[in-house]
Structure 1
Amino acid sequence: MAISAMTNPVLNALLDDVVSTVTSVDQTINQLMATKSALLATASRIADDEPFDSVDSREMSQRAVSTEIAAALRLSDRTIESHMGTAARLQECFPATAASFGAGHISQAHVRVIMDAGDQIEDAESRARFEAIVVARAEAESPNRLRPFAAQTAERFRERSFTERHREARERRATWVRGRDDGMGELVIFGPSTIINAMHDRATQLALAVKAENAKAAKESGHASSDVVADDFADERTLNQLRVDLLADLVLTGTPTGHETEDGLLGEIRAHVDITVPMLTLTDLDEIASPAHLEGIGPIDPATARILTGNASGFDRVLTHPVSGMVLGVDRYRPSAEMRRYLRARDRRCRFPGCRLLARLCDDDHTIDHARGGATSLTNLADFCRRHHVTKHQTPWRVRQLGGGVLEWTSPTGRIYVDRPPGVATHVTIDDVVDRMPSEAPF
């Protein structure tokens, strides 16, 4: 069957203009992204020249420059430092790719594919030959189609065998967590593909077995007494939902027998999470109750918070302002411990602009150094992760307390950034609080 062309000449001309303009805009965006990359590479070279008198190492110089740019862009300095390193590597090791990127012929996604495949080619001449082949293909293909071709081409120029590289890659096996919206999160596992696929396959088999068992129970219940309802045995969970539930059950309650100690210590280890729960959430069973807060991640639903709180062996109570969420006090009186609990509740994460590392993993830093007469008091303390604690002391970054836990940071070039404590978010009015407030305060 023949397919006719667009019959409306006006719409045909308009579509042609749209395609041409989108193509031109895309090329301009690629050129701008290439310019940004080149500037970050320049920033990396500036850092290599160690422009600050008070910085005595290349690492600290790179950190000082990356934090300067990150604060101006309101991004993580780790991200910017990584981008600076990638941009410098692009200019130095992949000049043909950088040139095509700068001309707008390929996108940042193409650049990532080429660098990912070519990064392990150690010899500069071999890498240049790899580039000559792959860049030409990149200018005519999508990143997804380019990826397998680039990986295959790179293999031809690799000096080390796949077996040797895999053995080394296994040493980098790891897990990490990513927060998602609506009280959800991801647990990412990086490891040998055989093990990862076997884990997924076993979870699938377990899920299918549970489905079959519940379906069998539901069918048999039809022959049981009239008090038994088949729906009581119905399992409406999807295969994906069952995989997650079963893996969680295995990880949280099972003991890894292959690694267990003689004393059975691994079987006694339980997961640890920190949550902040508004008091009214514990007593108000309405669906609109304020969510609790999983430290370092974000909000979690009130029902989960009540379960965790009810099963906790103990918890620290923190009195907060019912509207602003500002921490007002804590329940125990042991000076040093009380100050630490107060700081954890107030700061909740590293207080360097853009950093989110949990406060319980941070250092208690004296804003004015203790060695220089700084007091060990709440007005002179803040939580910094080790990276930014070192940054404060070994680069030109400076910080001072403005009161109420508010910090003012001054960058190496003199820019000012104010970081406010996040506190505890609430979603109630003062009238709601007055109506629900018990006759006697709990503290």
Structure 2
Amino acid sequence: MFEQLPSPESLARADDAAVVSAIEAFGRAENSAAAARLAAVAELMARRLFDDDDERDKWACDGWDSVAAEVAAALGLSHRRASGQMHLAHALRTRLPRTAAKLAAGAISLRTAATIAWRTKLVETSEALATIDAELAARAAGWGPLSDSRLDTSIDAVLDEHDPDAKLEYHVGARARDIQFGKPDDTTGTTSVFGSLTSPDATLFDRRIRAMIANICSDDPRTVGQRRSDAVGLLLSGADRLACRCGKSDCGGAGTDDRAGTVVIHVVAEERAVRQASTAMTRPARTPSNQAAPTETEAAPTESGEPDTGRRPAAVLQGGRVVPAPLLAELIATGATLRPLRAPDQAAEPRYRPSAKLAAFIRARDLTCRFPGCNAPAERCDIEHTIPYQRGGPTHPSNLACLCRKHHLLKTFWTEWAETQHPDASITWTTPTGKTYTTYPGSRAVFPNWDTSTAALPPAAKPAASDADRGLQMPKRKRTRRAEQAQRIKSERARNGSG
């Protein structure tokens, strides 16, 4: 299925031309592997979805979500990225078979195939789609490297010829606008923000930032870029004034930035890290120019008598992002509230909802949603009972874990999924096909000396007969996912045609 690829040893003996040829061969193999992976995803979808009589299609966590969860677990992806793979896999299998064949042969890249699938999503008739697929597959193999804009233009040229109403116009781009936080290559302690706004909103945003930094004097130590970044942070917290940091009492730009009291963020740190950060810099006087967003820092306990290795212990946000020692010191120096994190009681709590003390421990231990591949921050997750409370599951750390709302619904209502929590806080997930995946609390990686093990629990009771009706409690959609998508396509084509 795949061409023979050179080994690292043979590459070390090859000339430059042979090395470049090897890179091309690896690229073709990567595209072929992507095509095979997407074909497998499409096959799983065909077996699990598209049953018109499945009442679960109107569940808030529907069959698509169940399959996306299984794909996410198998590939180590987030739920959103797995869903994106499913959209592409389904399009290549059912709408664009010739484009899929070119991808499988390594003749076009995954990026090209994905762009074709996206930009042809409004084509409705099978005749037009077959013609467009055949023509794009033939042309794309000879396009060579193209920029994003040239690739879009090349695809649109074919659409304009065969189905003009299927072209993605302005309003489609506007509907796809979004703001995202974080990229894999972010520098520690910072998070990238990227996305799109409508042009008028972007203009207003830029003018607002310019106005906020206009009163900063020339002695402020920050660069213009840093000032703009701080101004955006202020706007996101609900404040609208950026204070100058020159430190001069007579500066016209001095004053409060109003972040204090607007938002609380949680940082989990080892006790040693807090001590080191507290002594790393002298705490300045609490003047308006150095106020910051309030932070609650929870100190994770460590083993007694642990030798000091000289390594700076980690601190993390709930969600897993690392807070470097200088930033932790700055947070403490500017007034963060320090709160020790206490181990929970060994006895179960006599209620369904965990106490604030127990909830703080669970969120600090887990840091993120405990479903495979999900990185939703613990502070935005539900604290759920692994063994349902209604079946005798105790409100105890060995039976509690953080799950985002989507995976909480999946675990609660999709009986094909099973979850087992162990005393060391690891969780084994069993998929509808019987595959098992084990996740560990996020604190295990950053706080290896923090023992979060808790008592073992008795096995779960057998489901009650009433459990068969649990789907009646699932939040419902007004329309199925397929009906919603069909309506969106119909609306977009109507707007294109009215232009």
The answer to whether 1:356 aligns with 2:356 is no
What's 2:228 paired with? 243
Q: Deviations over 1:135-189 (max 9, x none)?
A: 3332122142423322454355332797xx5446545544332152311101224
Q: Deviations over 1:348-392 (max 9, x none)?
A: 221122222122222222222222222222222222112111211
Q: Tell me which protein shows more helix as a share of its residues.
A: 1
Distance in 2, matches of 1:341 and 1:190, equals 35
Distance 1:89 1:304, change over 3 A: same
Contact 1:60 1:394 in 2 (8 A): no
Distance 1:174 1:155, change over 3 A: same
Matched-pair identity in % = 25
Q: Secondary structure at the match of 1:185?
A: coil
Distance 1:28 1:374, change over 3 A: closer
The answer to whether 1:188 aligns with 2:173 is no
Q: Secondary structure at the match of 2:398?
A: helix
Distance 1:278 1:91, change over 3 A: same
Structure 2, gaps ≥5 residues long? 1-13, 242-257, 282-310, 451-499
Per mean C-alpha deviation after superposition, the further-off stretch among 193-202 and 109-118 is: 193-202
Contact 1:44 1:85 in 2 (8 A): no
Contact 2:320 2:367 in 1 (8 A): no
Distance in 1, matches of 2:210 and 2:240, equals 20
What's 1:68 paired with? 70
Per mean C-alpha deviation after superposition, the further-off stretch among 268-277 and 353-362 is: 268-277
Q: Secondary structure at the match of 1:413?
A: coil
Distance 1:152 1:295, change over 3 A: farther
Deviation at 1:314, TM superposition (A): 4.6
State the AA in 2 paired with 1:175: I
Contact 1:362 1:384 in 2 (8 A): yes
Contact 2:121 2:166 in 1 (8 A): no
Distance in 1, matches of 2:387 and 2:331, equals 39
What's 1:423 paired with? 443
Contact 1:296 1:356 in 2 (8 A): yes
Give the TM-score normalised by structure 2: 0.63
Structure 1, gaps ≥5 residues long? 1-12, 215-232, 257-265, 320-326, 430-443
Contact 1:255 1:267 in 2 (8 A): no
The answer to whether 1:176 aligns with 2:161 is no
Q: Secondary structure at the match of 1:356?
A: coil
Contact 1:362 1:383 in 2 (8 A): yes
Q: How many matched pairs?
A: 373
What's 2:494 paired with? none
Distance 1:56 1:274, change over 3 A: same
The answer to whether 1:38 aligns with 2:42 is no
State the AA in 2 paired with 1:420: Y
1:107-256 residue pairs with structure 2 within 5 A?
107-141=109-143, 142-144=145-147, 145-155=150-160, 157-159=163-165, 166-167=170-171, 169-171=173-175, 173-178=177-182, 180-196=186-202, 199-200=205-206, 203=209, 214=218, 233=219, 237=223, 239-252=224-237, 254-255=239-240
Distance in 1, matches of 2:333 and 2:18, equals 63
What's 1:282 paired with? 274
State the AA in 2 paired with 1:176: Q
Q: Secondary structure at the match of 1:418?
A: strand
Distance 1:167 1:269, change over 3 A: farther
State the AA in 2 paired with 1:296: G
Distance in 1, matches of 2:405 and 2:158, equals 41
Structure showing greater radius of gyration is 1
Of 305, 308, 319, 2:328 maps to 305
Q: Secondary structure at the match of 2:34?
A: helix
Deviation at 1:201, TM superposition (A): 6.9
What's 2:412 paired with? 393
Q: Secondary structure at the match of 1:409?
A: strand
Distance in 1, matches of 2:20 and 2:333, equals 60
Distance in 2, matches of 1:272 and 1:25, equals 48
Distance in 2, matches of 1:298 and 1:18, equals 38
Contact 2:268 2:317 in 1 (8 A): yes
Give the TM-score normalised by structure 1: 0.70
Q: CA RMSD in A?
A: 3.9
The answer to whether 1:343 aligns with 2:368 is no
Q: Deviations over 1:79-99 (max 9, x none)?
A: 333312210112212222112
The answer to whether 1:405 aligns with 2:400 is no
Distance in 2, matches of 1:126 and 1:205, equals 52
Deviation at 1:404, TM superposition (A): 3.3
Distance in 2, matches of 1:382 and 1:152, equals 51
Contact 2:119 2:167 in 1 (8 A): no
The answer to whether 1:294 aligns with 2:307 is no
What's 1:372 paired with? 391
Q: Deviations over 1:325-349 (max 9, x none)?
A: xx5679xx99722222221122222
State the AA in 1 paired with 2:323: I
